Amino acid sequence: MSAWTGAGRRIAGRRIAGRRIHIQEVGLRDGLQAECRFVPTADKIALADLLSGAGLAKLEVSSFVSPKAVPVLADAADVFAGIARAPGVVYSALVPNVRGAERAVAAGVGEMNLVMSASESHNLSNLRMTRAQSFAGLADVAALARRHGIAVNVSLSCSFGCPMEGDVPQQDVMDWCARFVDELGVQGITLCDTTGMAYPTQVHALTEAVRARWPGIELTLHFHNTRGMGLANVLAAIDAGADRFDASLGGIGGCPYAPGATGNVCTEEVVHALQLMGYDTGVDLARLLQAAVRLQDLVGHDVPSQIVKAGRRLDLHPRPAA
């Protein structure tokens, strides 16, 4: 018996049919950050409300980085002020430092998402700091969040490989997770495949190791489809017990190391596939697709989403005339 036998069966003690998988939307932050065009604040708010209405478990709404560094997300506070807060939905934001954290607290974020890289070269390149410097700064952010009773998630970039260093040893990833969980007491860890280097057997092994060591931690997997392995990696992680995934509406959110390649795994593709397999995503796919079509207008170009182009599996075509 294997993980693929679908509806109504159990695999190695795990339920497939009806098993809940939480889909967390990162398009508003990770996606829009990669766009050149500034999406007007009112449109961001409307899109966020469409997404929460479609049943997504968590939205990364924006980023409290310097508005000068990322002008397309300079309206983070206004977006938070405008969105409807749907019951049960977590509204998260990326927070790089204490100044950002103070703005995030004022905006009423439900969770702070802290980012650093498991790879020294990528951290230096992306954040202009050593990992040790990043960790020290994020410790201050986590302390501030704790004082305000706000949950903290850490996104560990390059957990499955670094575009400059290559393989990142699993032990390095585990060691950084340990520092965040055991020293800082964060509530969640996201293992990020920042540049699309993850592959299914590797994903299974790391997911299993992290879950076994920290069963109480909310574990998220964040995949990019850069080399076409996004969905396969999601399924490998589910098979290892994971139940939370970041995904980006339309599949937006590219990678600076792979111009022209697709970005984050596409929310509607992941939801479409998981629902067909019998998983419960809690998402209304029809409403999600309305949001994806709207997103195309907002960003002003086609999005990578195959579901936007091809429709759902059972969106049928007319039969030939008899």
CA angle at 174 for the pair 147 and 170, rounded to the nearest 5°: 150
Q: At 113, is the secondary structure helix, strand, or coil?
A: strand
The nearest distance, CB 152 to a copy of itself, in angstroms, is: 28
Q: Rule CB under 8 A: is residue 229 a binding residue for a copy of itself? A: yes
Q: Which residues contact 167 (CB under 8 A, 6 or more apart)?
A: 161
Q: Which residues contact 55 (CB under 8 A, 6 or more apart)?
A: 281, 282, 283, 284, 287
| Cα–Cα distances in angstroms (integers) from residue 101 to residues 97, 137, 286, in the given order | 6, 11, 35
Q: Which residues contact 322 (CB under 8 A, 6 or more apart)?
A: none
The nearest distance, CB 201 to a copy of itself, in angstroms, is: 3
DSSP state of 162: B
Q: Rule CB under 8 A: is residue 93 a binding residue for a copy of itself? A: no
Q: Rule CB under 8 A: is residue 257 a binding residue for a copy of itself? A: yes
Q: Rule CB under 8 A: is residue 53 a binding residue for a copy of itself? A: no
Nearer to a copy of itself among residue 151 and residue 285 (C-beta): 285
Q: Rule CB under 8 A: is residue 124 a binding residue for a copy of itself? A: yes
* Subset of 293-322 contacting a copy of itself (CB under 8 A): 302, 306-307, 309-314, 316-320
Structure tokens at 198: 């993850």
Site track for a copy of itself across 182-211, x = CB under 8 A: --------------xx-xxxxxxx------
* Subset of 261-300 contacting a copy of itself (CB under 8 A): 261-262, 266, 269, 272-273, 276-278
How far separated are the first and last CA of the chain, in Å rounded? Answer: 44
Interface positions with a copy of itself (CB under 8 A): 1-7, 11-12, 16, 121, 124-125, 161, 163-167, 196-197, 199-205, 225-232, 235-236, 239-240, 255, 257-262, 266, 269, 272-273, 276-278, 302, 306-307, 309-314, 316-320
